[in-house]
Structure 1
Amino acid sequence: MKHVRVIALRRGAAAALAAGLLGLAGAAGADPAPKPRPPEIERARAEPAVVRVQGDTVYYTGNLSKASSAAFDAAVARVSRGQITRLVISSGGGDTVEGRHVGRWVRDMALVVEVDVICFSSCADYVFPAGRAPLIRANAFVGWHGNERQFDVLAARADVSVEDQLAAVVPADVSPGPRAAFVQEALRSIAVTRKDEAEFYGSLGLNDAFAVCGVGDVLERRPGCTGQQG
């Protein structure tokens, strides 16, 4: 389809992990009010997602999360293989585990995945490649900025351990105890999710190079991308 834009954005998911510690970091100055997003992008961030079955198509609009998975499971509970032929999705991404939950269902149902407006982050990592055929509508885009393995890539780039890489994303004013607890919990979580992700990609016959492309050295070799990490 024409006018397709497949992009790797600059934002690293390290910031997402650090965001969970903002409460521990103490009060901070308020950020300037963000610019309003286009309504179609706001719909792609809906929490929980809006999921419906119409004819031979499942329509999924919104975030990937536990609440969205509950809405998804309820909508497709009576759907059997062969009844549905495609998933039309518009999603800004979200939880990686829930992204693989939807991706596994798409894989098992052998659906065409059709992107309407946006499929970013966990949607691009796990739902988009899970279908038997991926389609991107005109003026829609698919965007990657890393996956479960990205902290290994970032640590290797910096020639540090993954533990040190994780510690570096914690706000500087977090005390040593909460900092160490965060790092250890993150290491345990990453070990589990990285294994789950590897098994998921293995079931699709894929490696994760396409998903981690936004944080690796390959990105830096592209014109204008020196110094970028996703």
Structure 2
Amino acid sequence: MRRLAGLLALALLAGCATTGTNGTTRPGLAAVEVDGDTLVYRGPIEAWGFEQAHALLEMDVGIRRLAIASGGGSIEIGMLLGALVRDHGLDVRILAPGCYSSCANYVFPAGRRKTIDPGAVVAWHGSAIQERWDVPDEHEEALELYLAEARARQAAFFRSIGVDEQVTVIGQQLGCACTWFLTAEDMARFGIRDVEVPPGYAATQVAVDDQANVRLLELPATLPPPPAF
């Protein structure tokens, strides 16, 4: 699994970088720049984008906020980017069309104050603690070894930000074959607080083709127990 992940990372990291006066971008991948007191990140959660964000934060002590639009990406890099947000005490602003997968899991909840723009959503669809993984039989043993490490790191990360990691799998536990988002009140049930959502957030229509199965998840009064490993 590590070899497979490494090959995928190399594929994502391929390409030519171009540098501007206040940020860096690569065609088709993450674009990272500074706009006033805001670090702006658009694109996948991957090593190159994280490295640029880290470098800009180290250079510019005036950054107070991360504005991000991302479809997600690596579990490990998501936690690293979330740790940057946590350690620098950044507010997080979610740009349209939104923050999905590892962005929702690790970056959004790490923010000090969190704002979601009109037309954007924060949506989850699983994490290292999900119970079902569709992999060929020959990779199952390697996957289990990888997940044992990833689950331990993920648990430690969520403890560090005071958030219940069950938020990353609650839709699966409730039988939602979807990518789900939550009201601010339901986010708070998992410890994700200080969230400002736009008017009509619960009825947000996602206008991105590959996110067509995104919908609001209505939680029951009593939640199922978290996954146990």
TM class, shorter-chain normalised? 0.5 to 0.7
Q: Aligned in 2, Cα 1:222/1:76: closer, same or farther, shift over 3 Å? A: closer
Alignment match, 1:85? 64
TM-score by length of structure 2 reads 0.62
The residue identity in structure 1 corresponding to 2:76 is V
The residue identity in structure 1 corresponding to 2:123 is G
Work out whether residues 47 and 67 of structure 1, in 8 Å CA contact, stay in contact via their aligned partners in 2. no
CA distance in 1, matches of 2:135, 2:127: 19
- 2:108 paired residue among 128, 136, 142: 128
Alignment RMSD, CA only? 2.6
- 2:168 paired residue among 192, 196, 211: 211
Q: Aligned in 2, Cα 1:90/1:188: closer, same or farther, shift over 3 Å? A: same
Deviation at 1:87, TM superposition (A): 0.6
SS in 2 for 1:215: helix
CA distance in 1, matches of 2:77, 2:128: 13
Alignment match, 1:111? 90
Gaps of 5+ in 1: 1-16, 21-45, 155-165, 172-178, 224-230
CA distance in 2, matches of 1:119, 1:53: 19
The residue identity in structure 1 corresponding to 2:93 is E
Alignment match, 1:98? 77
Deviation at 1:67, TM superposition (A): 2.1
Instruction: Could you list the structure 1 runs, at least 4 aligned residues long, displaced by more than 4 angstroms after superposition.
Output: 218-223
Work out whether residues 125 and 168 of structure 2, in 8 Å CA contact, stay in contact via their aligned partners in 1. yes
TM-score by length of structure 1 reads 0.62
Alignment pair present for 1:55 and 2:55: no
Aligned length: 157
Alignment pair present for 1:190 and 2:147: yes
Percent identical among aligned pairs is 34
Gaps of 5+ in 2: 5-26, 178-216, 220-229
> Quick check: which has more Rg, 1 or 2?
1
